Structure 1
Amino acid sequence: MNKKTWLSAAAITLGSYALSFSAINNALAQGLPEYSLETITSDIQMPWGMVWLPEGDILVTDRNGDIFRVSNGQVGDPLGGVPEVHTNGQGGLLDIVLHPDYADTGWLYISYASEEGAGEGSNTAIMRARLNGNQLVDQEVLYKGAENSMRGQHYGGRMIFDNDGYLYFSIGDRGDHFTNVQDLTRDGGKIYRLNADGSVPSDNPFAGRDDAKAAIWSYGHRNPQGIDINPTTGQVWASEHGPRGGDEINIAEAGKNYGWPYVGYGINYNGEPLAEAKFGEGVEQPIWYWDPSIAVAGITFVTSERYPELQNHLLVGALRATKLELLEIHDDRVLRRTDLLTDIGRVRSVRQGPDGYVYLGIEGEGIKRLVPAD
């Protein structure tokens, strides 16, 4: 693709584009209650994903390759039948979600780094299985990134079901952004959509094309590390690791291009320029970006009545910045941001549980939940 294409920017309307947090005050902080964290368990060291079974137990993935069942704060033995995982840098055992009709189907879905397929190394895979006691059975691999790589970064791996029962998941650029991301025939730097059985929906934006993978939903992403469904619009929102000064929140829409690596914010980690422009023709803008970067991770929209002041707004976990942020959302725009909690460790996952509490998976700290301070 001709890089000069990315330098042709359309007319810019300020209200249509993201503003960095440095441009917005923290007025939302006024009137918010204080929050604290309550420890559920500290026995899981690398909690990456979590999901709740109907009886209230939590299944937690540890990136090192185990799935633990947490019942009343007690961590059981690892589940059996977990797929073989390639623990490689940022890769390993990643996310876990339940089928929307789990009570009837029994399906749970797992993302992980898999060495299956051609080439050395691994890439992101999506599988489903059922839980029989403490054992995973009926395993089926639904999707596997085709281009294995020895690189240890940017596996993506976040998953979510939308309100219509479609499964969305991310695969990062795998550290080879100029090769993978803008090429629709290759995996990497994409968000994907499947039916719950692993088949491709007939209305996917690239279905039926010979020059694209039919499962792709959107492309031009670097490394989506959080994904959730906006409760008021039903749209897919994703947090995305950027380079220095380029973390983003994007609304992932069908067939849209989000520009990486030619259009974006931030610079290389070595201080050299990276993206050629901040705006480009045919390229979607993030609705929010961070400068400096915070190393965004899991996100969740709050719908619980336990936090009436946070309802329909977005919580964002941060790795490098070791905090939990609140983004106040209105009409698909971020109005304000504030730090709810700081210096709490590397927040990898953020999920709202069926009891209405928000739970955090913190590296080296385990699972904690957000509670208003007394």
Structure 2
Amino acid sequence: MKRRTILSVSGGIFSAAVAGCTGVLDAAGQTDGFEVEEVAQDLSHPWGMAFLPDDTRLLVAERDGRLSLHDPDDGTVEELEGTPSVYADGQGGLLDVALHPDFPDEPWLYLTYSTANDDGESTTALGRSRLDGEAARLEDAEELYVAEPFVDSDDHYGSRVVFGDDGRVYVTVGDRAFKNFGPDHVSQDPTNDLGTTLRLEPDGSIPDDNPFVDESGAKDAVFSYGHRNSQGMTVHPETGDLWQSEHGEEDGDEINIVEEGGNYGWPVASYGCEYGTDDPVGDDPRRREDLVDPVFYWECNSGGFPPTGMTFYDGDAFPDWEGDLFVGNLAGAYLGRFTVDGTDVEETDSLLEDRGWRIRDVEVDPETGALYVAVDGENAPLVRLVPD
């Protein structure tokens, strides 16, 4: 297994880009270099966003099960009919949303969400529906994949969905918070779907070249494993590489480039510690040649960076940000900006850090280049960063 070298490590906080922030958001807030404009109010834990191509509107998925079309130009909001029922409890609910890359010629909308069985156990699922944007409804819903096994837990669903440059659908599934740290942990066992990245065809079938299709007992959909809880995923606009952000235990948070068949170490090797202790979880990853290293990580006692939605900036509104990686920070309550040169990653700014916002997701408007930010919480705003 290819081993990646750690080129930059930082748990520090940088604030130059947000000097002068007011900490109070009315219709718009002023910052250095950009303004913060409110797009929507009173959202209930917004989790995922997707822009409609050649349209002013974007989709916003809220964890309680609501999926809406928002038009930032006129402020209208249309709740979509036909959204699937979800298991909305704990960290579960309606989670991420993505459009088929050939939308609207292929009018499919993809959702990840938690679903429960008759015993009250839950898991992560991927579904798709045809989106009728004019009628504001979903039609022809079908469930494409249900991660196995169902578990009596409301934590660690993972649940980002993106299309790769290969046209396949990639979905993250969390480890469901199992605490039996060691080689028998579910994340180290590709015969189940927990703690993995899945790769599927757009219709939910299994690609013939998935890494474990010929391995007896393994789950054919698994593309990578050894993950704890990856809640961010995006495609590098130049290389086509799939990047993920992953929660550690006590710190140990990571940014990874996903490799086919790769084992990312959780929990047999980690840079984090067990909660409330300085006890490391597993081995030092630098001593394990059989695992894929993160390209960036936060060590135990660094303060960590509980990461969520992420995107590379490829718009025209902020030329100085071109190629930079933006990652939402939950507990740290800011939007992290990272410069990227190949696999050399450095955290350079902490945007919006004076707002007290848990950042759940971030996306670039393909038309205007504005950076949209979903804030996690009850009665939460959706905001966008536009040039000053």
Same fold (TM over 0.5): yes
Alignment of 1:150-169 (within 5 A): 150-169=152-171
Q: Which residue identity does 2:186 align to in structure 1?
A: N
- For 2:14 and 2:334, locate their aligned partners in 1 and report how far apart those are by CA, in whole Å: 15
Corresponding residue for residue 66 of structure 1: 66
2:238 is aligned, of 232, 236, 249, to 232
How many angstroms does 1:281 deviate by? 2.8
Corresponding residue for residue 23 of structure 2: none
- For 1:336 and 1:347, locate their aligned partners in 2 and report how far apart those are by CA, in whole Å: 16
- Tell me if the contact between 1:45 and 1:366 (Cα under 8 Å) persists in the aligned partners: no
Alignment of 1:241-252 (within 5 A): 241-252=247-258
How many angstroms does 1:272 deviate by? 5.1
- Tell me if the contact between 2:147 and 2:194 (Cα under 8 Å) persists in the aligned partners: yes
1:258 is aligned, of 257, 261, 264, to 264
Corresponding residue for residue 382 of structure 2: 367
- Tell me if the contact between 2:7 and 2:343 (Cα under 8 Å) persists in the aligned partners: no
Q: Which residue identity does 2:169 align to in structure 1?
A: L
Corresponding residue for residue 40 of structure 1: 39
Alignment of 1:266-305 (within 5 A): 266-271=272-277, 273-279=279-285, 280-290=288-298, 291-305=302-316
Counterpart check, 1:223 vs 2:229: yes
Q: Which residue identity does 1:122 align to in structure 2?
A: S
Counterpart check, 1:320 vs 2:321: no
Change (3 A) 1:248 1:18: farther
How much identity, in percent, do the aligned residues show? 37
Q: Secondary structure at the match of 1:192?
A: strand
Alignment of 1:7-156 (within 5 A): 16-22=5-11, 34-54=33-53, 55-71=55-71, 72=73, 74-116=75-117, 119-132=119-132, 133-156=135-158
Change (3 A) 1:25 1:339: closer
Q: Secondary structure at the match of 2:231?
A: strand
Q: Deviations over 1:84-109 (max 9, x none)?
A: 11012111000000000111110000
Q: Which residue identity does 2:322 align to in structure 1?
A: Q
Corresponding residue for residue 25 of structure 2: none
How many angstroms does 1:367 deviate by? 1.1
Aligned length: 358
Q: Deviations over 1:43-67 (max 9, x none)?
A: 3231111112232211110101110
- For 2:311 and 2:278, locate their aligned partners in 1 and report how far apart those are by CA, in whole Å: 33
Counterpart check, 1:343 vs 2:345: no
Corresponding residue for residue 173 of structure 2: 171
Q: Which residue identity does 1:240 align to in structure 2?
A: E
Q: Which residue identity does 2:203 align to in structure 1?
A: D
What TM-score do you get using the length of structure 2 for normalisation? 0.87
Structure 1: any 5+ residue segments left out of the alignment?
A: 1-9
Q: Which residue identity does 1:111 align to in structure 2?
A: T
Q: Deviations over 1:68-94 (max 9, x none)?
A: 111235353422211111012111000
Q: Secondary structure at the match of 2:105?
A: helix
Q: Secondary structure at the match of 2:240?
A: coil
How many angstroms does 1:216 deviate by? 0.7
More displaced, 178-187 or 243-252? 178-187
- Tell me if the contact between 1:110 and 1:126 (Cα under 8 Å) persists in the aligned partners: yes
- For 2:174 and 2:75, locate their aligned partners in 1 and report how far apart those are by CA, in whole Å: 33
1:352 is aligned, of 364, 381, 387, to 364
- For 2:312 and 2:52, locate their aligned partners in 1 and report how far apart those are by CA, in whole Å: 20
Runs of 4+ more than 4 Å apart: 24-30
Change (3 A) 1:294 1:25: closer
RMSD, aligned α-carbons:
2.3
- For 1:73 and 1:258, locate their aligned partners in 2 and report how far apart those are by CA, in whole Å: 45
Change (3 A) 1:109 1:193: same
- Tell me if the contact between 1:258 and 1:285 (Cα under 8 Å) persists in the aligned partners: yes
Corresponding residue for residue 4 of structure 1: none
Q: Deviations over 1:17-65 (max 9, x none)?
A: 154214x8969969x9633321111132311111122322111101011
- For 1:301 and 1:269, locate their aligned partners in 2 and report how far apart those are by CA, in whole Å: 31
Q: Which residue identity does 2:363 align to in structure 1?
A: R
- For 2:314 and 2:366, locate their aligned partners in 1 and report how far apart those are by CA, in whole Å: 11
How many angstroms does 1:343 deviate by? 2.8
What TM-score do you get using the length of structure 1 for normalisation? 0.90
